[in-house]
Structures are given as C-alpha cells and as structure tokens.
C-alpha cells in the first residue's frame, strides 16, 4: 500500500519529464475535468477567460484548458495598437481574444459548442431572442458584410452579432422582418 502511494506521487513527475509525453494536456487528467466542464459565456467572461486574465499566451492557453491552438498578432483599432490571440479548434477559428498589453478586454466566440449561460450559441436565429431591433440593436461592420449587433437581454458585457442576407444600403438597419431569419455569427464578451 505504501509503495502504491509512492508510485502515485512519483508518476506525474516521471511522466512530465519524458520528452515524448511533454505535449500531452495533463490538465485534462485532473479529476475536476473528467466530466466535461464546458466553456460558457457569462458576465464575467468566457470560461476562465476574464478581465483578470493576462494577455500572455501561457495564461490564455491555461484559461482555455489546452483545448485550442493559439496564434498571436497585432492590429490597430481606433488609432490604438491592440494585441490579439486567435484560438483554433481543429484548424477552425473558434475564439478571438484581444486586449491591451495587460489583460483580456474582449472575446469573440465563433465556436457553436460554446453557449451563453442562457443557452444562446452561434447559429441561434434573431427571432428566438428579439421581436424587434429598435432599442436592442445597432448596425455593425463585419467581415461578412452587413451585420447587426444586439445587446444580450439584461447584460452589461455580452452582445450578439447577427448576419444574414439583405439588399438594402450599407449602414442602414435592416427591417425586423428581414432580421427574423438572421443568425448569431459571433457572441461578443466585452469588458
């Protein structure tokens, strides 16, 4: 029994020292991760990514639990330089994490496996969440073309970016009738 305890204590040390096993995500072996704790968008952030998470690759990878491959970059936004990390899941863009040099301030969720605490996910239709855009939404710019950004009901930090087809002038809000079939293309958490 004593040797079994010693073996259990020494095994992680021995295994982490092996170069062939160094790329294994050991945090997934922790008992609290055995039952598939899923990432969720809440007022505090996205999963363990919060405004307290440093804008460092190691901290972001740790907050994501090692489920994503990260790549980093910089861009200018309103005259300021913004650092960002793209989190890829199976070579598909799943999250865009941006912020200042000190901490995470914005997370864009493109992964349909990540839901808000109220069950909204990428692909949810506009009509499931809103009756009308007035008072809830504003026209937005998106890579996909015409988009509308709407605040999540009762939230200070979560909004949804809806995209769909519309042939009206750019910058003008589509009608509620046109919006009802649009779908969430991004869930945005902003500090």
pLDDT tens for 160-182 read 999 988 887 777 888 999 999 99
Report whether 67 contacts 92 (CB < 8 A): no
CA distance 61 to 76: 24
Q: What is the value of pTM for the model shown?
A: 0.77
pLDDT tens for 149-159 read 999 999 999 99
Predicted pLDDT of residue 8: 56
Mean pLDDT lowest among 4-8, 59-63, 76-80, 89-93: 4-8
């Amino acid at each position: 029994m004593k040797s079994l305890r010693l073996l259990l204590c020494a095994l992680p040390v021995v295994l982490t020292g092996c170069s062939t096993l160094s790329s294994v995500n050991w945090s997934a072996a922790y008992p609290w991760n055995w039952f598939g704790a899923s990432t969720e968008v809440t007022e505090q952030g996205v999963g363990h990514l919060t405004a307290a998470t440093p804008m460092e690759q190691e901290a972001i990878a740790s907050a994501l639990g090692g489920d994503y491959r990260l790549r980093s970059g910089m861009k200018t936004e309103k005259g300021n330089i913004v650092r960002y990390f793209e989190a890829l899941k199976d070579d598909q863009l799943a999250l865009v994490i941006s912020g200042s040099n000190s901490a995470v301030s914005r997370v864009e969720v493109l992964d349909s496996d990540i839901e808000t605490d109220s069950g909204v996910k990428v692909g949810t239709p506009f009509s499931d969440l809103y009756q009308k855009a007035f008072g809830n939404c504003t026209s937005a710019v998106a890579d996909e073309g015409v988009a509308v950004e709407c605040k999540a009901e009762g939230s200070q930090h979560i909004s949804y970016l809806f995209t769909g087809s519309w042939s009206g002038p750019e910058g003008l809000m589509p009608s509620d009738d046109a919006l009802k079939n649009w779908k969430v293309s991004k869930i945005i958490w902003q500090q």
